Structure 1
Amino acid sequence: MVTPHKTRRPDELTMEVLELIGDVVSRFYADYEEAAAEHALTGAQARLLSLLSLEPLPMRKLAQKLKCEPSNVTGIVDRLESRGLVERRPDPSDRRVKLAAATDDGRRVARELRDGLRFARAPLAGLSDEERLALRDLLRRMLDA
């Protein structure tokens, strides 16, 4: 006979950490939306542009990274393309696949978006290199779990 898995209620420290993570995420998104609005972009458009400023990506991969439907990505790319921030080009390894890529203007706007993010910049700058490395490593461990 299989006994049901008993879920333990999180301890106080875990609950406090979860609350703090939620607050950080909320403030980061609010800051990101504000920076995007300064460029007349939605948060989703800004996130997509930021991804494309790193490397051209196929629509399906963009949808996976943004955790949305490919049809949504198509609409976002269409709007960014009409503003000259993104272009579609054939994938050199498979010409049937279209890649979305940031234009020079798109990379400039993405850089300005990153520079416009104010939340956490000062608090992170107040941490030592060792503390920032520890925080980075802990966040990576959480994401890999």
Structure 2
Amino acid sequence: MPGNPRAGTAQLMELLSVSLGVYYGDFTVAAATEGLTASQGKTLTVLRRGPSAMRALATTLSCDASNMTGIIDRLEKRGLVRREPSPTDRRVKNVVLTDEGERIIDAIRAKMHLTLDGLATLDEDDRATLAGLLERVFAAAPAAIPPTSR
């Protein structure tokens, strides 16, 4: 493998695949303990970055706009999000995370034991390196991964 950059890339793709599978499995189980589907939990996670228009949420989460409406309806019924008019376009409704929605995301992340245990094996330098590498690898998707504050 050392002389073959494609083999290295294939190995990294496999490691990313396994890592994301573990992360999302962990996330899905933790979200379920809060009575949420994985899609509802992911929606709250995206909204933690700030308010979003419904169409932008659907694009970010790669789902149909009608499906996004159902997800938001259920989250709003539980008091985890609210809809409000966009300050720049009154025809657009933004979805905003409530304090309760914020609390639920914190609770989900606190229950992601596989992920937390894995990250706990990293020291501060390792964490900074990992964050920098992930930012570089996914730089083409700036809306999906917010830069870390260092």
Q: Say how many residue pairs are matched.
A: 137
Task: Supply the distance in 2 between the matched residues of 1:89 and 1:144 (Cα, whole angstroms).
Answer: 30
Please tell me whether residue 102 in structure 1 is matched to residue 97 in structure 2: yes
Match of 1:17 in 2: 12
Match of 2:122 in 1: 127
Partner amino acid for 1:140? E
TM-score, normalization by structure 2: 0.82
Residue aligning to 1:3? none
Larger Rg, first or second structure (1 or 2):
1
For residue 33 of structure 1, what is the amino acid of its counterpart? T
1:31 maps to which of 26, 29, 37: 26
Q: Which runs of 5+ in 1 are unaligned?
A: 1-7
Query: Structure 2 CA distance, aligned partners of 1:120 and 1:109?
Result: 17
Cα deviation, 1:18-71, whole Å, max 9, x if unaligned, reads: 222111111111101001100111000001012223321110111121122222
8 Å CA contact 2:26–2:115 kept in 1: the answer is no
Deviations 1:50-99 (A, max 9, x none): 22233211101111211222222111001111122111111122211101
SS of the equivalent of 2:90 reads strand
Within 5 A, what are the aligned runs for 1:1-145?
A: 10-11=6-7, 13-144=8-139
2:129 and 2:6 map into 1 onto residues whose CA distance is 24
TM-score using structure 1 length: 0.85
Identity %: 40
The structural deviation recorded for 1:9 is: 9.2
Give distance in 1, aligned partners of 2:12 and 2:89: 45
How much is the aligned-residue C-alpha RMSD, in angstroms?
Answer: 1.9
- Out of 116-125 and 39-48, give the one that drifted further: 116-125
Gaps of 5+ in 2: 141-150
Partner SS for 1:89: strand
